[in-house]
Structure 1
Amino acid sequence: MTVRVLILPGLFNSGTEHWQSHWEQRYSGLHRVKQDDWETPVCTDWVQNLQKKITKSERPVVLVGHSLACTLIARWAQQHPAEARRVRGALLVAPSDTEAESYPDGTAGFTPMPLNALPFDAITVASTNDPYVTRERATAFSEAWGSELVWLENAGHINGDGGYGAWPQGIELLFRLTGDPQFKHG
C-alpha cells in the first residue's frame, strides 16, 4: 500500500519558490495541509487540523514539515499517540526554536518546544546557519525526537530564499521514509 504524503508548511506558508511547492507540482500524491491562519497561528488549531487530515487518510501517512510545522508534528504526536501509529515517518526540515528570542512574534501555544520521542521514523534536516535555530538546539531537538540528523552547510532556513527550489537531496530523504519509487532519484 502506498503512503499519503502530507506537506506541512510553517509560519507564513510556503511560497511558489519553496521546495515544498516545487514538490507538490512535480510529484503526485503530495497534499498540502492548509491552515486557516498562516500569519498568527494558534497551535491548538493547527494540531486539530492535522489530526483531521491524518484520521481521514485510508493509507499510512508520511509528514513533511518545514520550520514551525516541525513543532506542530512533535506536538501533534505527543497529544495523539494512538493516531501517531498511522504515521510511517516524518521529514522535519529547518525546525524553528519557538523559545528563541530570534523567533518571530505572533504565534500562540507553540512553546515550550515539545521534546518527546516521536513514535515513528524521522529525519531532521538542519542548517549550520539557520537564523531561527542554533546548532545546539537543532541537535537537542533531533536527539529528543529520536530522529536522524542531517546537516546542510550554510543553507539558511532551507527555503526558497536560500535557493532550495526542487531540492533533490530532500526528495532522496523522502524516498527513504516512503519507499515510493517516484522519489527515488529526485
Structure 2
Amino acid sequence: MHSIRRIFSVGTAALVLGAGLVAGSSGAAQAAASDCTQGRAGFTDIPDSLSGRGVAGAGALVVDFPTNVPYAVASYAMQTGNVGGREMGWGVLSTSSSLWGAGASGQVWMDVTNDNKQSWIQCGPFYVSSAGARITTPAYPTSNSASRAFRVCAMAAIPVRDTGITCTPWW
C-alpha cells in the first residue's frame, strides 16, 4: 500500500511540476534589445545623452555588496521629448560614479502597450556595467489615445544578489 501511495505521490508531483514548467515557459516572453533597435516595432534609436522631461516617476536601485564596496547605486526614469520632430517617450538608467563596485551591472527596459495594458511590447533590456554611465532605451511615439501607455523597468545586480525588478507606474 505504501509503495502505491508513494508512486502516486511522486507521479502527481512530477505532473504538477511539469505543468508548472510548461505554463511558466509558454507565458514568459524572452525580449531582447534587438527587438526594438534600428527602427524595429515602431521604436527610434536615440543617443544615451538625450534628456527630456521626466514623467511617471523615477526610482533608485541599491544593492548591498557583501564585502569591501558597500553599494551599487543607480537611478531610472521615464522621459519624454522631441525626437526627430515627434513627441516620444523613453527609459533611462544612470549609475553612480562613486558607489558602483566592480562586477555590478544595471539594466533598463521600456514596456509599451497599445491596448490598455492587455499586452505590451518590451523594448530591452539594455545593460550597463560601468560607474557613472547613462543608457537609454529607444524612444516610442506618445499618443493622445487612452489605450497607449508606457512604463520603464530596471534592475541592478552584483554576482551574488540583485535588487529585483522595479517599474515606474504606467503613463
* Pairwise same-fold verdict (TM > 0.5): no
CA radius of gyration, larger in:
2
Question: TM-score, length-normalised on structure 1?
Answer: 0.22
- Structure whose residues are more often helix by fraction: 1
